[in-house]
Amino acid sequence: MVPDYAKARQGKRAHYDEETIHAILDTGLVGHVGFVSQERPMVMPMAYARVGSTLYLHGASKTRLMGLDGQKMCVTVTQLTGIVAARSSFHHSVNYRCAVVHGTARKVTDDEHEKALNAITDHLLPGRSGELRAMTPQELKATGVIALDINAASAKIRTGPPVEDADDLPSSLWGGVVPVVTALGTGIQDAHTPEGTLPPPSIRKAQAKFIA
């Protein structure tokens, strides 16, 4: 059952199945994390990872995020895929996929802490954590993790050409979709990378993963 607060208001574009929601979460680059601070809504962009039905977020131990243990949160992941140009302003739109996830913040400790941090690294660069040395105890201590066990979620998806009023057709105007393309470019190595070192498999995997 989807609780009322998690239901999309424009029902025709809404999806509530886990497969659709997870697919959007798994191919998003950044999440927008919403919480309430002193009765004020706050929205922050954050890296994240999904493991099962849990989203993980991380931040320096001193940040506001780490004080949210037990509080309600919302994380929204959006992929814009096109600008929809119609014959009327009214029918202009965008093509997109988004997942809106609700849950309660839970501060992560023990074994789950390191696993979550690796999952966040590996979300953007699949397998990267295995290419690197293990985290030190000081590094683990300096980085907090908040879990959001998903209580309710919805997705919204729009695809395809513009809708038009019959009165606006036929028309001499151009109508259609302008694709919004997001992709990873060729890696730019830094000054410490030995000459001739190839980008690691994690980067090639990311380049294949994040194409929209």
Sites for a copy of itself among residues 167-186 (CB under 8 A): 168-186
Residues 147-166 that bind a copy of itself (CB under 8 A): 161-162, 164
Query: C-beta of 87: minimal distance to a copy of itself in Å?
Result: 7
Q: Which stretch binds a copy of itself (CB under 8 A): 14-22, 48-56, 193-201?
A: 193-201
Question: 17 or 92, CB closer to a copy of itself?
Answer: 92
Question: Minimal CA–CA distance to 117: which of 185, 57, 30?
Answer: 57
Helix (H, G, I), strand (E, B) or coil at 76: strand
Tokens for 19, please give them.
């497969």
Residue 22 corresponds to which amino acid? H
- Cβ neighbours around 161 below 10 Å, total: 14
CB of 136 to a copy of itself, least distance (A): 8
Rule CB under 8 A: choose which of 34, 53, 107, 115 binds a copy of itself.
34
Task: Check residue 88 for interaction with a copy of itself (CB under 8 A).
Answer: yes
The two structure tokens encoding residue 51:
């493991």
Chain centroid, CA 162 distance in Å: 26
Closest-CA residue to 21 (of 92, 99, 94, 83): 99
- Told to check if 73 binds a copy of itself by CB under 8 A, we report yes
Does 74 participate in binding a copy of itself (rule CB under 8 A)? yes
